[in-house]
Amino acid sequence: MVLKLLFLVSLILLFSTAAHSQLQPILSTNYYQKKCPRFEQIMQDTTTNKQIASPTTAAATLRLFFHDCFMGGCDASVLISSTPFNKAERDADINLSLPGDGFDVVVRAKAAIELACPGVVSCADILAFATRNLVLMMGGPYYSVKLGRKDSLISKASYVEGNLPRPTMPMNQIIQIFTSRGFSIQEIVALSGAHTIGFSHCKEFSSILYNYSRNGQSDQSYNPKFAQALRNACADYNKNPTLSVFNDVMSPNKFDNMYYQNLQKGLGILSSDHALNSDPRTKGYVELYAKNQNAFFVAFARAMEKLSVYGVKTGRRGEIRRRCDAFNN
């Protein structure tokens, strides 16, 4: 009788452990060590060559990664192209301005990896790994990237609205989007430091640059001379929607803490940038990262490690796509 009980208990433990492992994605930094030994070298070569050829690639890929992860997890759903039967995420209004270089570096890496080890490496892993490599190339911090994600089986534009933070949103709404995904206010401020590279289109901040109020043409958070310079740079944005300016006007091609220093001087670009420096919940972290780049780098690295495993798909919840822009048939 005792032996039977022990046997039953051991069976229950075995099944509960197996069930738990199904719920917990099994990711590891050396996931492709045996499955695709050249994975890291191919990724290094591809990201380096692409960044040298197109210096906007790092910022484009970082933004693409954020937009992918915040919509249901880091699963390459944003890479899917629309069809006559499905309007995909990348065609949602907020994603239309995602630069092509981010998509292109993933496509190039996937093509090279498929030649070396076909059907093994997911597009989601390629995007996550490329993002880390490119942040590092720009002078940013190293952080580990766990691998083993599967690619999503769904991508719908209709799911996007309200799930991605917009620069025009009030700070309460931005905080709610992040905290509902388990990110702290400190992590919000650290991840916002990604604006140390890249650019923003004039139309994204025109509402606080022109005809802002009776008391002034622009939001008072702007340095007045900087606001005038932006108005001049963006003067034809209605005719030319591609007009843009650097997010960090002081060191746009370097991943550093200058973004936070700019905020304190009224040199932020977006409404959400100014809000970080004025909201009492976030202001202290802006001050910390402005004076201590190491503190920013440590916080950014930890937040990126956390973001990169958010909502990942494993097992039957995903697939290894043959092409990153289309589901397997």
Is residue 274 flagged as an active site residue? no
Radius of gyration of the chain (CA): 22
Catalytic site residue from 20, 67, 201, 274: 67
Beta-bridge partner residues of 244: 201
Residues in the annotated binding site for heme b: 195
Residues in the annotated binding site for substrate: 165
C-alpha pair distances (Å), 305 with each of 106, 198, 298, 318: 19, 21, 11, 21
d(Cα 118, Cα 110) in Å, to the nearest integer?
Answer: 9
Q: Which amino acid, residue 88?
A: A
Q: Supply 222's token pair.
A: 């702007």
Count H helices, E strands: the chain? 12, 2
Residues in the annotated binding site for Ca(2+): 68, 73, 75, 77, 89, 196, 248, 256
Q: What is the DSSP string of 296-326?
A: HHHHHHHHHHHHHTTT-B-GGG-B--SBTTB
d(Cα 248, Cα 250) in Å, to the nearest integer?
Answer: 6
Could you tell me what percentage of the chain is helix, strand and coil, using 3-state DSSP and rounding each to the nearest 5?
Answer: 55, 5, 40
C-alpha pair distances (Å), 120 with each of 23, 34, 35, 317: 22, 11, 7, 16
d(Cα 98, Cα 78) in Å, to the nearest integer?
Answer: 10
Catalytic residues: 67
